[in-house]
């Protein structure tokens, strides 16, 4: 078999495509990559991200060069924060000759939490996403934070002689802001909106405290999103948000869901 010299390798991606249909987003996704995230204390947290990188493809080209996405990511090291995302997007636009570039970075974020009575500490994981798009020099950045909470049903408490049903709920807050909003602050906002926050380590006195706290603070899924939205409305830096809450019901074979969007 005759091997082609490197200078003779055909660039299929740059060939003309007869269908002449532009593609909005093309690239790589589900790429696992070690990153360092700067937290509110200006320290760094090592975690593993699932990354998606995309650009637009003009109608005349057959394909894009997938390897160039990996080159861009590796060239910027493993520290990703709001400040260097514009550099990554710009590099994608330049290297892939595109008008638009899109970056999704989804990662677990950990906080050390103390149990409310025993003060025993444990790590609790949350979900976070950086979702950024560059169109020319304009950049749109959305931060998303996901946290699990406890909710106790107000109706169940009102009609029951003994107890009330409760369940775990998941709240997702997406927001755009005029300045940096820290992941930790969004987590605190979400947890304050629920019947109780979660902990990774609870001794019996802690369990008693959490159970009674939830019982004294019942919230519907509607209350959960309204509580979070009220707290977001008090943040002058936030210019747009969407709050979603889903309760994984303990006495129904379905989930309860609510959403509020503003901005």
pLDDT at 6 over 80: no
> pTM for the full model?
0.89
pLDDT at 115: 97
pLDDT at 10 over 80: no
- Would you give the distance in Å from CA 40 to the centre of its chain? 16
Domain range annotation of the chain: 20-262
Choice between 14 and 36, residue whose per-residue pLDDT is larger: 36
CA distances from 44 to 30, 35, 37, 147 (A): 23, 10, 5, 20
- 83-137 confidence digits (pLDDT tens): 889 999 999 999 998 999 999 999 999 999 999 999 999 999 999 999 999 999 9
Q: Are the beta carbons of 35 and 105 closer than 8 angstroms? A: yes
Q: What is the pLDDT averaged over residues 193-217?
A: 97
pLDDT at 5 over 80: no
Q: Residue 210's pLDDT band (boundaries 50, 70, 90)?
A: very high
For 98, what's the count of Cα atoms within 13 Å in the CB-facing half-sphere? 30
Q: What is the pLDDT averaged over residues 205-218?
A: 97
- The continuous run of DSSP H or E covering 232 comes out as helix 221-233
pLDDT at 80: 75
pLDDT at 44: 87
CA distances from 97 to 21, 93, 162 (A): 17, 5, 66
65: tokens are: 């060069």
Three-state DSSP class for residue 163? coil
Backbone angles phi, psi at 74, to 5 degrees: -65, -35
Three-state DSSP class for residue 244? strand
The CATH number of the structural domain formed by 20-262 is 3.10.270.10
Average pLDDT across the chain, whole number: 91
- The continuous run of DSSP H or E covering 208 comes out as helix 204-216
């Amino acid at each position: 078999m005759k091997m082609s010299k490197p200078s003779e390798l055909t660039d299929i991606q740059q060939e003309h495509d007869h269908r002449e249909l532009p593609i909005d987003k093309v690239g790589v996704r589900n790429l696992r990559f070690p990153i360092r995230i700067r937290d509110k204390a200006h320290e760094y947290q090592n975690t593993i991200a699932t990354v998606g990188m995309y650009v637009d493809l003009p109608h005349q080209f057959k394909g894009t060069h997938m390897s160039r996405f990996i080159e861009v990511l590796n060239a910027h090291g493993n520290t990703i924060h709001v400040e260097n995302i514009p550099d990554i997007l710009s590099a994608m636009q330049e290297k892939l000759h595109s008008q638009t570039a899109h970056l999704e970075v989804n990662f677990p974020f950990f906080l050390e939490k103390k149990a409310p009575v025993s003060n025993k500490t444990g790590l609790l994981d949350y979900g976070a996403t950086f979702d950024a798009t560059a169109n020319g020099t304009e950049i749109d950045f959305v931060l998303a934070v996901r946290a699990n909470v406890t909710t106790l049903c107000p109706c169940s408490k009102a009609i029951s002689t003994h107890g009330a049903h409760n369940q775990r709920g998941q709240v997702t807050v997406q927001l755009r802001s005029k300045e940096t909003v820290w992941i930790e602050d969004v987590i605190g906002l979400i947890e304050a909106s629920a019947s109780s926050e979660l902990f990774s380590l609870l001794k019996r006195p802690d369990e008693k405290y959490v159970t009674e706290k939830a019982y004294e603070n019942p919230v519907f899924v509607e209350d959960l999103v309204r509580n979070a939205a009220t707290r977001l409305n008090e943040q002058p830096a936030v210019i747009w948000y969407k709050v979603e809450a889903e309760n994984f019901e303990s006495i129904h074979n379905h989930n309860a869901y609510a959403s509020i969007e503003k901005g």
